[in-house]
Amino acid sequence: MDRPDQSLELNPLYARPGEATQIPAHRLPAGSMLPQTAYAIVHDEAMLDGNARLNLATFVTTWMEDDARRLYAETVDKNMIDKDEYPMTAEIENRCWRILADLWHAPHPDRAIGTSTTGSSEACMLAGLAMKRKWRRRQDGTDRPSDRPNLVMSSAVQVCWEKFCNYFDVEPRYVPITMEHPTLDAHMLEHFVDENTIGVVAIMGVTYTGRYEPVAQIAAALDAIAARRDGVDVPIHVDGASGAMIAPFLQPDLAWDFRIPRVVSINTSGHKYGLVYPGVGWVVWRDKSYLPDDLVFKVSYLGGDMPTLALNFSRPGSQVLLQYYLFLRLGFEGYTKIHRASLDVAQHLARGIGAMEQFTLWNDASDIPVFAWSLNPQKRRTWSLYDLSGRLRMHGWLVPAYSMPDNLSSLIVQRIVVRAGFSRELADRLLENIREETAYLDSLTTPTKPPKRRRSGFSH
């Protein structure tokens, strides 16, 4: 841990004549230094980070080709919010969410509305706010209260939904996952929704395991509830942070999107399987009627009048331009080929790990290129998956171990996320290292000593 009085000592080769050889870590230096010196210091500090390409914990894109890197460098100075000054960036933003509206089968893409965001977390906040405002308007026309909204979701949702409920005074209702019901489905749903439910969140690619939640099945259950119970007509928001950029290409016949009438909004992370560097997300509403007007601001800014939906304001426009670059560069065929390659590698890894007697697969990467496994409960071990995660880190691999959500919190799993550029050769090397380290851990005759604090390395 950094000490308040800590100083950074420069390599003598870095310091130029007249420059300090020590600088404070937590105070602004008194003088300036040459750019080469500052670069060398920051570069060396960052060397202690893990290798992003070997980070199998993150969903976020860690590689783009050179032309994309050049476009990134050329446009990082554009402020996304200055739409009057950068009208083509604003136009390209509109093109991108309209492309997504069409990809997700909006009945009339020209009547849809959407926006870019800094990532799926902001997109989820906007979708949640839209559902809350729509619900409150419905309640205001009745004798029912409008001050006790709730949101129904799986206990395995990403933490951004917990934040949404906390920040915007919505009661979270978590449907627990179990071994029999590993995702949110129609099971017990009627016990969680009522006239105060603003919506149900369905996840296309659960963070913990990568599984799809059955959106059509959830919608059918809500249809049945609406038919039986007056005033309980609940919309669905699809959190497609990962799967919304996988399913259209790899499972095109799967109904999960706007083909289901109860789905009113969808979000995705452009910086996950949209293949853009962090951070860009997208949210699209079925049509303008599902986005209340009071969430759209018209701002007079730097000489122009512009509508803005996002919670954030100033941010680089480069990621939006990179998203459009990829839409042009890859097209439907290119995204299909890239995601198919990632899925094939993930399934190859899942088969290899599933064949090891030490492990039991939680899923097999049949949805998105993500899968998880646990220790085989039939085999007694003196070690845990936290130990295996630590051993793999010695080879450079970042493979998280973590506990599952409530009701399954005693179950420890490991998860692998395969992204574009992770080859079959790298996968075979990883399998070899896993076999080596499990053999080493099996050879121990005494139990491993648990660390004082478990650190999962779990990343969304």
What sign for the dihedral angle of Cα 180, 183, 187, 188? Answer: positive
Task: Give me the pLDDT at residue 446, please.
Answer: 84
d(CA 327, CA 30): 47
Q: Quick count: other Cβ atoms within 10 Å of Cβ 26? A: 10
- pLDDT for 459 equals 46
Tell the residue number behind the tokens 């990962």, with chain if given. 242
Q: Please, which residues have CB within 8 angstroms of residue 337's CB and are 6 or more apart in sequence?
A: none
Joined tokens for residue 208: 């913990």
Of 281, 282, 309, whose CA–CA distance to 293 is shortest? 309
Helix (H) / strand (E) element for 266: namely: strand 263-269
Q: Determine the Cα–Cα distance for residues 343 and 273; give it in Å rounded to an integer.
A: 12
pLDDT in tens, the chain (460 residues): 556 668 877 777 777 777 777 888 889 988 888 898 899 889 988 988 888 888 999 999 999 999 999 999 999 999 988 877 888 999 999 999 999 999 999 999 999 999 999 999 999 999 999 999 999 999 987 888 888 999 999 999 999 999 999 999 999 999 998 889 999 998 899 999 999 999 999 999 999 999 999 999 999 999 999 999 998 999 999 999 999 999 999 999 999 999 999 999 999 999 999 999 999 999 999 999 999 999 988 766 556 566 788 888 889 999 999 999 999 999 999 999 999 999 999 999 999 999 999 999 999 999 999 999 999 999 888 999 999 999 999 999 999 999 998 888 889 999 999 999 999 999 999 999 999 999 999 999 888 876 554 444 444 4
Q: Could you tell me the two tokens for 44?
A: 């060396």
Single-letter code of the amino acid located at 283: V
Q: Alpha helices of 76-214 — where are they, by DSSP H?
A: 87-103, 120-140, 159-167
Output the six-digit token pair for 314.
């100033």
Structure tokens at 114: 């959407």
Task: Please check whether residue 397 is in contact with residue 54, taking contact to mean a CB–CB distance below 8 angstroms.
Answer: yes
Tokens linked to 98: 């309209």
Determine phi and psi for 122, rounding to 5 degrees: -65, -40
Q: What phi-psi label fits residue 136: left (phi over 0), alpha (psi between -120 and 50 degrees) or beta?
A: alpha
Extract the tokens encoding 434: 């896993």
DSSP state for residue 384 in the 8-state scheme: -
User: Where do the domains of the chain lie, and which CATH numbers do they carry?
Assistant: 1-38 (no CATH), 69-326 (3.40.640.10)
The pLDDT value given to residue 330: 98
Whether the Cβ atoms of residue 419 and residue 62 lie closer than 8 Å to each other: yes
pLDDT of residue 455: 45
- The SS3 call for residue 299 is strand
Interacting residues of 26 by C-beta distance below 8 A, sequence separation 6+: 2, 4, 5, 6
Global confidence as pTM: 0.92
Q: Which two tokens stand for residue 175?
A: 């449907």
Neighbouring C-alpha atoms within 13 Å toward the C-beta of 149:
26
Cβ within 8 Å of residue 313, ≥6 positions away: 81
In whole angstroms, give the CA distance from residue 385 to residue 402: 8
> Distance (Å, rounded) from C-alpha 253 to C-alpha 247?
9
What is the reported pLDDT for 458? 44
